């Protein structure tokens, strides 16, 4: 029977522990830089205006019901989701019908379905290389389906930028035909992305080694504010004829966190039997989906689909994306500016060089704990801050708190 010996206590999720500690803190000037969700300048959650409009449209639709979605999800949603990440209907993969897309439980569900599919069918080396560091959940998701994990160097502690040489060397040293998980943009947790020229080199090595790319995209439009800039790496790999997987989340770029809107895409290479292959892959994905969730949830996908399929709403969404990414970029400039103004020891250009929701500040664990104790500023132990937690009311306070622990 189940006993305490049979089922050991699982470690607490570090992020949830941090959130609980923040909630329990009564200091009026406390600052939450842990959360991985967008906040407005008043530190409040932001429902995108375009999402409110889409919600209104759905509410007033007399035809709407609560029947099951198809197993693969709402086609109007998954089709547009593919166009979004692949760069439009002109993508060679879409034109040549080499893509299959299936709606998932947000990005997590997409990574999981991809991992499950690889565990069952991947013909290469069943080992996945994750960036060091990466989104912590990647480790559990691949372990759960029995795919062994290796790491490639990613973050250079000295420059607080990309360890490009280390990354390339690891890809070269990996067994041929390995699975390489890549963050399409706005790398979590470091905020460090390869430049486009570096992506080209990565692609070239992956071609040489016959590695298999699995892109995780959770921040398209959220990084630069430009949807077509944030999908440049994925588009490049597709142009180069790679077979690849994409796990796509709409949590951050639509602010639909709890609605779990996501999509998983398989793109095959331009081989002569590509269409037959993609049809078979779609059939297998449907079986996996059926055994896991039967049918994906409707609401978030309906909201996203309403926006993605309407020109005016789409343009408004792009405006909303620029609002979010713009505020974050402004906060990067403000934090760096204040630190430099204070003459805080060290260099702070990495704050503005990094991109997306997160920044790896370079603060040590000791400094992180001290800044929490002294100034009630909460961030993860690895020194990651959520830029969205900063605003014009607290950025100077945070800079001063950092300044104090760094000295």
List interacting residues with ligand PMP (CB under 6 A): 36, 106-108, 135, 183, 188, 216, 218, 249, 251, 257, 262
102 - beta bridge partners? 264
Residue 251 CB, nearest distance to ligand PMP (Å)? 4
Least Å distance, CB 400 to ligand PMP, is 29
**Which is closer to ligand PMP, CB of 36 or CB of 73?**
36
- The residue behind tokens 């007399």 is 62
Spatial CA neighbour of 250 closest among 240, 268, 264, 237: 264
252: annotated active-site residue: yes
Q: How far apart are CB 108 and ligand PMP at their closest, in Å?
A: 3
CB nearer ligand PMP, residue 101 or residue 188: 188
Considering the candidates 193, 216, 230, 338, report the single residue annotated as catalytic: 216
By C-beta, is 22 or 348 nearer to ligand PMP?
22
Terminal C-alpha separation, the chain: 55
Residue 318: exposure state from Cβ atoms within 10 A (0-12, 13-18, ≥19): middle
Report the nearest approach of ligand PMP to the CB of residue 3 (Å).
33
Listing DSSP states for 344-392 in one string gives: -SS--HHHHHS-SSEEE----HHHHHHHHHHH-EE--TTSEEEGGG--T
Task: Out of 46, 80, 135, 230, pick the active-site residue.
Answer: 135
What's the closest the beta carbon of residue 149 comes to ligand PMP, in angstroms?
Answer: 15
Residue whose entry in the numeric block shows the structure tokens 């759905």: 58
By beta carbon distance, the residue nearest ligand PMP is 107
338 has catalytic annotation: no
Closest separation between CB of residue 105 and ligand PMP, Å?
A: 7
Contacts of 171 (CB under 8 A, 6+ apart): 129, 152, 180, 202, 205, 206, 209, 211
Active site (annotated) includes residue 197: no
φ, ψ (nearest 5 deg) of residue 7:
-115, 100
Instruction: Specify burial of residue 111 (Cβ count, 10 A radius: 0-12, 13-18, 19+).
Output: buried
Give the residue with the Cβ less far from ligand PMP, 253 or 394. 253
Other CB atoms within 10 A of residue 380 CB? 21
Is the backbone peptide bond immediately before 133 cis, with ω within 30 degrees of 0? yes
- Residue pair 177/126 in contact (Cβ under 8 Å)? The answer is no
- Who contacts 280 (Cβ-Cβ below 8 Å, separation ≥6)? none
Q: Which is nearer to ligand PMP, 117 or 402 (CB)?
A: 117
DSSP reduced 3-state for 335: helix
Among 249, 182, 177, 180, smallest CA distance to 209 is for 177
Local structure of 212: helix, strand or coil = strand
User: Using an 8 Å Cβ cutoff, are 287 and 63 in contact?
Assistant: no
CB of 36 to ligand PMP, least distance (A): 5
Q: Which is the catalytic residue, given 230, 252, 317, 348?
A: 252
Q: How far is the CB of 141 from ligand PMP (least distance, A)?
A: 9
Q: Are 405 and 370 in contact (CB under 8 A)?
A: yes
Give catalytic residues, as residue numbers. Answer: 135, 216, 252
């Amino acid at each position: 029977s189940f006993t305490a010996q049979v089922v050991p206590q699982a470690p607490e999720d570090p992020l949830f522990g941090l959130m609980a500690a923040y909630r329990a803190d009564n200091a009026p000037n406390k600052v939450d830089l842990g959360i991985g969700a967008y906040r407005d300048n008043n530190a409040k959650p932001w429902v995108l205006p375009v999402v409110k409009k889409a919600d209104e449209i759905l509410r007033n639709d007399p035809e709407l019901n609560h029947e099951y979605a198809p197993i693969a999800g709402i086609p109007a949603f998954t089709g547009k989701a593919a166009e979004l990440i692949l760069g439009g209907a002109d993508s060679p993969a879409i034109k040549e019908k080499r893509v299959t897309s299936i709606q998932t439980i947000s990005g997590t569900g997409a990574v999981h379905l991809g991992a499950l599919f690889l565990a069952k069918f991947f013909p290469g080396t069943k080992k996945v290389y994750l960036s060091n560091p990466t989104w912590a959940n990647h480790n559990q998701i691949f372990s759960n389906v029995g795919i062994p994990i290796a790491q490639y160097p990613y973050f250079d502690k000295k420059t607080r930028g990309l360890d490009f040489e280390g990354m390339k060397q690891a890809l070269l040293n990996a067994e041929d035909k390995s699975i390489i998980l890549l963050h399409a943009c706005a790398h979590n947790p470091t905020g460090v992305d390869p430049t486009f020229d570096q992506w080209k080199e990565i692609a070239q090595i992956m071609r040489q080694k016959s590695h298999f790319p699995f892109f995780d995209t959770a921040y398209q439009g959220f990084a630069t504010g430009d949807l077509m800039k944030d999908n440049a790496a994925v588009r490049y790999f597709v142009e180069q004829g790679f077979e690849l997987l994409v796990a796509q989340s709409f949590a951050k770029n639509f602010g639909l966190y709890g609605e779990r809107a996501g999509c998983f895409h398989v793109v095959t290479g331009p081989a002569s039997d590509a269409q037959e292959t993609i049809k078979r892959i779609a059939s297998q994905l449907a079986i996996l989906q059926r055994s896991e969730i039967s049918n994906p949830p409707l609401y978030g996908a309906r909201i996203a689909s309403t926006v993605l399929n309407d020109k005016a709403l789409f343009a408004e969404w792009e405006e909303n994306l620029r609002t979010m990414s713009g505020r974050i970029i402004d906060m990067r400039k403000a934090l760096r500016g204040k630190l430099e103004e204070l003459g805080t020891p060290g260099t702070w250009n990495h704050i503005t060089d990094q991109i997306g929701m997160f920044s790896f500040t370079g603060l040590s664990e000791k400094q992180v704990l001290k800044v929490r104790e002294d100034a009630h500023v909460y961030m993860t132990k690895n020194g990651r801050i959520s830029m969205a937690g900063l605003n014009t009311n607290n950025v100077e306070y945070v800079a001063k708190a950092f300044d104090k622990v760094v000295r």
